[in-house]
Structure 1
């Protein structure tokens, strides 16, 4: 009995030790500030029976000065077997999830790290990430990777920071046992067949967030079409689903097409036309992996006007614009990824369900915003510090409120212009300050008070309405020091009134309804 208890204790201890709370972001390490990553060439073989990986990552970088130490990130659970520079073995230290490499005396701009080991298992993907190894209904292996909260350190050695993207993209040579397929980023360049294995060479030349480098292994059914972008170009569009769901694949592909058309209408052409538009079915809910979004929503399509809607499909696709094309360097500004994408979800309701569906959706979501944490986190936040529900819900409401304040004639061209501005896209990064300055410059309006209130505090205005005479009402928004235009439904119809801390007199023979469509977050 004692022996059995000891074995149980050791097993639980091993599982606990492996389920570390990996986090990333925060201030960049000074040693890592000295280098710029140009390219990753990741070569990995998957061993589903033992849930292990083995391979290497070749990292091409540049540095303005000679390096005494090249610092990368890789969790300690993997064993680093060898590190090469200029074809020679170099010394390294691997501890505390840090891989320090001592370069040889050369002008090398590449390092190759050979490593492998048992993969960390995701306890609650995608919110608590790692590898998910499952089997489908046909007893085939099915593996997915989720790492937004943990970074690329859980699957490859890299400069693992949101401010660092490989400027020349990645090559991924991914090997699995026959007959398994591995879906990944970019375009499939070649498939190499061995005696009992298959190697898939995927590649993209676009910059890519390191947590968006991804792969999913399984036996899939594929549906595809050529998508005609509003840019005029043709982009391959694919869906990969498990064999047991093959009958659902054609409709999923059509929904992906409709969602892409909707995103393009409001945010501009698909950002990665040289690659593909694609989703792959995963053993967890979903994630915005660049050009290969994870989809695990079990085909829960709902009617929306004349079409069907899949919120997960549409949301993760929206990240191709906000999160993948437009990226933040500091997780303090993570709401730009999630809030703008969540607002894009509202726009599917607007486009296909009409105004009533849109405003019902907005009002319904606004009710559940707790206003506990500011949307913008402190500078140099980690992912754990910055990630919470209000960066979605309140972030989307901030964008919705901007639409109400600016009007559609200004708002829609402005959002599309922001998503297309070269100062903020691909290799360039964006901050909340950049977004605020862009909106104010484009609109010609001073919105500093609005942004400060809704992005940096948890306060919202308090509505106060008082009767004045026979047909007058004094309306104020208490708790703010600025004014903003707000719709008011009066006996004479809908009017826009500049409301702020000082009462504004509104004429109406019946009690007015302030902000009847729900443009502004306030205590009513």
Structure 2
């Protein structure tokens, strides 16, 4: 074990020790004691003591051995207690360090062996200060004074409330969540409800998830819910069961607000392909926080308002939480990152899905208007990319809005809508139910387009600054050049000088010169609603 801990301490040796801690390393690095096994199934059983804000239970972790091992790393926050760890009915020794624990086996577990490690635990999980931006449990009451409980842990980690292998590269193929709560309350988790087991003072609610799921998407919601449902039938005739769990005082509001769902699903299925989780269904669950993309059990807390808590551009008054969080079913839940450094895969594509919906519902010009509205939230303070292996994501706001604008820019750089849309849909289908990194997406775009867009992605993802179009006019000649850090960066410029709109390819290597009269120069304008860049006039 001492050798093991030495190995862990040495992992970040090449990084700035002031930036990253051992806790970051333990959480973010896919070390040999994590990569040696592949989780195939989680069987999570827990009892929720609402009065004392306490959890107790067991997670049976089914795994397949990738390479032989005699110890592994699992994760559970330090404030949660481990009662015991069992393997084949035998208690195993373990040690704890920060939010990780290291389990020692009595023998070497051979490659290709299957096994089950059972972790019994209990404790008071972290209470969120400001969910969902701050991870943890939310303990509230409805209008009738009945408990209303939820949890959100993206970024913070699912190990804040249940033991698991808390690394994004490893999703179970399927999962069961069994949640026991006081009688009179419902516990809604992901997937299909397959059982209710009542006892004198409590009810166990059993949910089965039949698809891969990333750990932070596993959820539970506890309340005196009203439940209604309907069936969405897509143009191909496929039926999707849609379930809605809302506070009883909001039932009528919910029935009206959630009428947006079928039209949204129509738009997204055309753009991205079939909803990824037909077997598990689609659900919206009212939560005591704004929202979260919990797979097949989307957290809804937008208070039945238009836009986002009443804020929206123009007449685009759709419910932001419904649209955005459902977009994550394709982008984040089906196509998933394998390291938090690539969180942009989730948030950039999902935020762009809002523009896809706007174009579908309101038309192309309104889509441009919507994106221009979102552009106000871009800050360019740091890169969208995070640092691999360190549990470090990139610029929180820019991975949403700048990332969406990057995709919008790519569409207009390609100047071939049918190709762009086929690539967008292709990414959603090619990488469905997989964990991937950003380079795989970039390679896919390059292959499908038969063009090297790597410098383009490098500039928008790895550098804080967007490209700056430098331009100057002298002697009846317009000169254009990009100022951009990415080597070999090239991007078209769309401009108007007079009546005609023109397009010219510009690089960051040399000036492009275009004949232009003084009158035309005075009329010069650049289409900054189609691409994300700044301009600078050079005297």
Query: For residues 44-82 of structure 1, what are the alpha-carbon distances to aligned partners after superposition, in whole Å with 9 as ceiling and x for unaligned?
Result: 111111111111111111114553223211112222222
1:378 equivalent in structure 2? 387
**1:267 paired to 2:272:** yes
> Could you tell me which residue of structure 1 aligns to residue 7 of structure 2?
none
Q: Which residue of 1 aligns with 2:202?
A: 197
What's the secondary structure of 2:60's corresponding residue?
A: strand
Q: Is the 8 A contact 1:241 1:280 kept in 2?
A: yes
Cα drift, residue 283 of structure 1: 0.7
Write the mapping of 1:140-289 to structure 2, written as runs, cut at 5 A.
Answer: 140-167=146-173, 169-230=174-235, 232-289=237-294
Equivalent of 1:68, from 53, 67, 70?
70
TM-superposed deviation, 1:305: 9.7
**Given that residues 313 and 373 in structure 2 are in contact (C-alpha distance below 8 angstroms), is that contact kept between their aligned partners in structure 1?**
no
d(CA) in 1 for partners of 2:67 and 2:489?
50
Distance 2:77 2:87 in 1: 21
Aligned to 2:419: 410
Map Cα deviations across residues 207-264 of structure 1 (whole Å, 9 max, x no partner): 1101111111001122211111355321111121111111111123212222222221
Task: Tell me, in whole angstroms, the C-alpha distance in 2 between the residues paired with 1:251 and 1:56.
Answer: 40
Equivalent in 43, 47, 52 of residue 49 of structure 2: 47
Q: What does residue 524 of structure 2 align with?
A: 512
Q: Show the counterpart of 2:330.
A: 321
Residues 453 and 460, structure 1, Cα contact 8 Å, conserved in 2: yes
* SS across alignment from 1:43: strand
Which range moved further: 205-214 or 79-88? 79-88
**Residue aligning to 1:363:** 372
2:405 to 382, 397, 409: 397
Q: CA deviation at 1:367?
A: 3.5
> Is the 1:305–1:352 contact (alpha carbons within 8 Å) kept by the matching residues of 2?
no
Once the two structures are superposed, what CA deviation does each residue of 1:344-388 show, in whole Å capped at 9, x if it has no partner?
1112221222222211222232243221111112322414x4351
Q: Give the one of 89, 92, 101 matched to 1:90.
A: 92
Aligned to 2:119: 113
Number of corresponding residues: 498
Whole-Å separation in 2 of the counterparts to 1:432 and 1:69: 31
| Aligned-pair CA distance for 1:495 | 2.1
**Is residue 497 of structure 1 aligned with residue 504 of structure 2?**
yes
Quick one: distance in 1 between partners of 2:119 and 2:162? 9
Alpha-carbon distance change, 141 to 330 in structure 1, aligned in 2, over 3 angstroms: same
Per-residue deviation, 1:476 = 3.5
Change (3 A) 1:95 1:306: closer
Contact 2:44 2:58 survives alignment (8 Å): yes
CA contact (8 A) 1:181 1:217 kept: yes
TM-score, normalised on structure 2? 0.87
Give CA-to-partner distance per residue, 1:128-159, whole Å, 9 cap, x none.
11111111111010100111122121111111
In the other structure, the counterpart of 1:10 is none
Determine helix, strand or coil for the equivalent of 2:404.
helix
Q: 1:36 aligns with which of 30, 34, 38?
A: 38
Q: CA RMSD in A?
A: 2.3
* Counterpart contact for 1:362–1:518, Cα < 8 Å: no
With over 3 angstroms needed to count, the CA separation of the structure-2 counterparts of 1:409 and 1:506, relative to structure 1, is farther
Contact 1:235-1:277 within 8 A present in 2 as well = yes
- Rate the CA distance shift 1:219–1:174 in 2: closer, same or farther, 3 A: same
Query: Structure 1 307/33 Cα, relative in aligned 2: closer, same or farther at 3 Å?
Result: same
**1:128 aligned residue (128, 131, 134):** 134
Deviation at 1:516, TM superposition (A): 5.0
Which stretch of the first structure deviates more once superposed, 141-150 or 58-67? 58-67
Tell me, yes or no, if the aligned pair for 1:238 and 1:253 is still in contact at 8 Å.
no
Range that drifts further, 298-307 or 105-114: 298-307
Over 3 Å counting, the alpha-carbon distance change for 1:464 and 1:87 in structure 2 is closer
Pair 1:486 & 2:497 matched: no
Deviation at 1:281, TM superposition (A): 0.8
How far off is 1:97 after superposition? 2.4
The counterpart of 1:432, out of the listed 430, 438, 441, is 438
> Of the candidates 314, 319, 322, which is equivalent to residue 310 of structure 1?
319
Measure, in 2, the Cα distance between the counterparts of 1:387 and 1:479.
19
Q: Secondary structure at the match of 1:262?
A: helix
Contact between 1:475 and 1:506, CA under 8 Å: does it hold in 2?
Answer: no
Whether the aligned pair in 2 keeps the contact of 1:90 and 1:103 (CA below 8 Å) is yes
Structure 1 unaligned regions, length at least 5:
1-20
Instruction: Tell me the distance in 2 between the aligned counterparts of 1:171 and 1:461.
Output: 47
In the alignment, structure 2 segments of 5+ residues that lack a partner are 1-21
Residues 149 and 84 from structure 1, CA distance in 2 versus in 1: closer, same or farther, beyond 3 angstroms? same
CA contact (8 A) 2:382 2:464 kept: yes
Match of 2:359 in 1: 350
